[in-house]
Amino acid sequence: MATEARPLPASAAPTWRARPTLAGTDYTSEATWADERERVWFGDWVCIGRAEEIAGPGDYLVRDLAGESIVLTRNHAGEIRAFYNVCAHRGTKLLDDEPGCGHVNKVFKCPYHSWSYDLDGRLVGTPNVDQDEGFDRSEHPLFSVGAEAWGGFLFVNLAAPEARRPLFESLTDGIETITAFERYRMDELRPGVRIEYEVEANWKIVVENYNECLHCPTIHPELVQVVPLYRFGEVHDGETGDDGNWMVEGATSFTRTGRSELPPFPDLRPDDYRMYYGTFQFPNLMLNLHPDAAMYYLALPRGPGHTTVLSEYLFQPETIASPDFRPEPVVELRGSHEARLVTAISAMSTHLGLRPPDYQQ
């Protein structure tokens, strides 16, 4: 499909000047990656999953965050707790990475010396090491991590307790925020489909491709059919609220046909039923909201050149429980372009390594 030029009226002419992107080494350098680990991934709140992955006391989730293995769980009061996935004794890994979720009744037990920790991280069992030997268990808990939930999403903060700002302050400290979409009641939604991608690219390339649509006419012609604005390589018309995009006339679902058999979400604004919203929560949560479904990408970097992308499609629980539940139209539209995008991003990342160190575009 050809892309048509749209001349801007004089009054709408941009007053800003385009700036170059980051240098090629910012996507490939081990030094940059080390700096990002400390400042971005370990220095503030980062999304790490969904709250329903630890629905009840003793449920746990193990996830790698930029090279640090983290365990999230709920204590017996239902409160979220998170810890480094290492025993406080000799640093043995408490839980395996796979499977990444499970359940314990009361304690996490180290596989090496069988030291046991309760769901609040307190050391409660030390075989062959008694407290009357001058050993105080209360001084050796698991190493805790800040953990909270908002909108059904789990966030962790690896900074020291005194350096952690409130989660909501972090979520609203940017141009875009998931907090603008409380009306979608995301904490009540549940996953109906889950897809995982291994992308041979730096996490920033993944994010940048989500945040622009200059590639849409070429890579995603099917999306252009649903959101006409995308044919111009734009993601916002400057007029709609919450940076929304109008779907094609008559569309009520983000599918190839603009239709689906899924029931629409209740109690949205009238315009929401004709709109697609996409918002980015720094540094790694990319949220997409449709009239009848939500989906998100969660980028988890493994190093400067590899990113795991988790993708889940969220629906109302009663929709999933229905015998008529058919998420395929929603999943197929995104799935078809995601596969092409992963290939394109990986190829672009490969070429980055061949460019001059001061490459910019």
* Residue 4 within any structural domain of the chain: no
Question: Both 339 and 267 in a single domain?
Answer: yes
Question: Both 154 and 58 in a single domain?
Answer: yes
Note down pLDDT in tens along the chain; length 361 residues: 344 445 545 555 567 777 788 898 999 999 999 999 999 999 999 999 999 999 999 999 999 999 999 999 999 999 999 999 999 999 999 999 988 999 999 999 999 999 999 999 999 999 988 767 788 999 999 999 999 999 999 999 999 999 999 999 999 999 999 999 999 999 999 999 999 999 999 999 999 999 988 888 888 888 889 999 999 988 888 888 888 999 999 999 999 999 999 999 999 999 999 999 999 999 999 999 999 999 999 999 999 999 999 999 999 999 999 999 999 999 998 776 666 667 767 666 655 554 555 555 5
Question: Both 102 and 182 in a single domain?
Answer: no
Residue 275 identity (one-letter amino acid): M
The predicted-structure confidence for 103-131, as pLDDT tens digits, reads as follows: 999 999 999 999 999 999 999 999 988 76
Task: Report which of 262, 300, 294 is spatially closest to residue 275, judged by C-alpha positions.
Answer: 294
* Residue 31 within any structural domain of the chain: no
The string of DSSP letters for 247-313 reads: PSTT--SSSSSS--SSPPPTT--GGGGGEEEEEEETTTEEEEE-SS-EEEEEEEEEETTEEEEEEEE
Question: Both 211 and 243 in a single domain?
Answer: yes
* Residue 198 within any structural domain of the chain: yes
Per-residue model confidence (pLDDT) at position 2: 40
Residue 269 domain boundaries: 177-352
* Residue 7 within any structural domain of the chain: no
* Residue 301 within any structural domain of the chain: yes
Per-residue model confidence (pLDDT) at position 339: 66
Cβ atoms of 323 and 52 closer than 8 Å: no
* Residue 18 within any structural domain of the chain: no
Domain end position, chosen among 129, 164, 199: 164
Reduce the DSSP state of residue 123 to 3 states and report it.
strand
Question: Both 102 and 155 in a single domain?
Answer: yes
Question: Both 331 and 188 in a single domain?
Answer: yes
Reduce the DSSP state of residue 327 to 3 states and report it.
coil
* Residue 23 within any structural domain of the chain: no
* Residue 169 within any structural domain of the chain: no
Q: How far apart are the first and last CA of the chain?
A: 25
Question: Both 227 and 198 in a single domain?
Answer: yes
Per-residue model confidence (pLDDT) at position 351: 54
Query: CA-CA distances (angstroms) from residue 180 to 8, 56, 142, 208?
Result: 29, 28, 35, 21
Question: Both 347 and 261 in a single domain?
Answer: yes
Instruction: Please tell me whether the overall predicted TM-score, pTM, comes out greater than 0.75 for this model.
Output: yes
Domain end position, chosen among 138, 164, 190: 164
Question: Both 68 and 186 in a single domain?
Answer: no
Per-residue model confidence (pLDDT) at position 256: 93
Instruction: State the CATH number of the domain containing residue 122.
Output: 2.102.10.10
Per-residue model confidence (pLDDT) at position 68: 97
Question: Both 204 and 263 in a single domain?
Answer: yes
Question: Both 106 and 199 in a single domain?
Answer: no
Question: Both 230 and 143 in a single domain?
Answer: no
Counting the structural domains of the chain, the total is 2
Domain end position, chosen among 133, 164, 195: 164
Instruction: State the CATH number of the domain containing residue 320.
Output: 3.90.380.10
